[in-house]
Amino acid sequence: MFELLNLIPSYLIYLTVTLVIIPTIAAVCLRYSLYQHLTNSAKKVNRLLALESRGQQPKIVENLENRFRQAREKLEQVNTIALIDGVYSQEKFTCFGFSLRCEQWDYFCQTLPNLLLAFGLLGTFFGITLNLSNISQALEQGSPDVTNLIVQLQTPLQSMGIAFITSLIAIFCSSVLILINLRCNTNLAKSLLISSLEDYLDNIFQRSIEGISRLDLAINRMVKQQEEFFR
């Protein structure tokens, strides 16, 4: 076992750890954190729907309330779905010191499994290419002793087989990420959050805000039209 590990070249270990293992661990932590963020936000909004104590609400609720007030003052009917989609598209989530939009983090987690497979194949072909060079050098030496030639070729051939380890590790990590993505389904959590926000804006917040009624808006519009007509 330890002899097999000694055959693994240092560059292969570096590529595997840097391009496969570390991104996998980071993506698992990120996916779980993003899923918890969305589900917790949906739970807080559901608390508003149940007419419980408001408590500390996520920032997206405050942004939506402000945008809804502004739109309500200018429009008779507010497109709630478009308003929520616009605000959510700008919603940011901070992880590992980086603040990006939730949709960007989600796209990264969905793309990484395929990217890991590409990195695994890259390490495999890189290892095979280097070992083919070593085999070529051993053959060029032209040793008359067949036994000695076999010994010289044994190490490059073993290393060539070990080069496939990067692909195996990448396939394993990619499978783990796919399972995590299925378990922590951020698309479902996003749908639940948006549905709760739409219900809150249409059925609770809209009735509670103080503003210009639809009749007032219609009267103001008629006054403006008359003013423009008599000019």
- Domain coordinates of the chain in residue numbers? 2-230
How would residue 219 be classed by pLDDT, with cut points 50, 70 and 90? low
CA distance 221 to 73: 12
Residues with Cβ within 8 Å of residue 141, at least 6 apart in sequence? 152
Predicted model pTM:
0.76
For 191, other C-beta atoms within 10 Å of its C-beta total 13
pLDDT at 213 over 60: no
> Above 50 in pLDDT, residue 1?
no
Residue 56 C-alpha from the chain's centroid: 26
pLDDT tens-digit series, residues 49-70: 887 777 788 888 888 888 888 8
* H, E, C per residue of 47-63: HHHCCCCCCCCCHHHHH
Cβ count near 193 (within 10 Å): 27
Cβ–Cβ < 8 Å for 175, 28: no
Report whether pLDDT(93) > 70. yes
Q: 139: which 2 tokens?
A: 């053959």
More confident residue, 215 or 108: 108
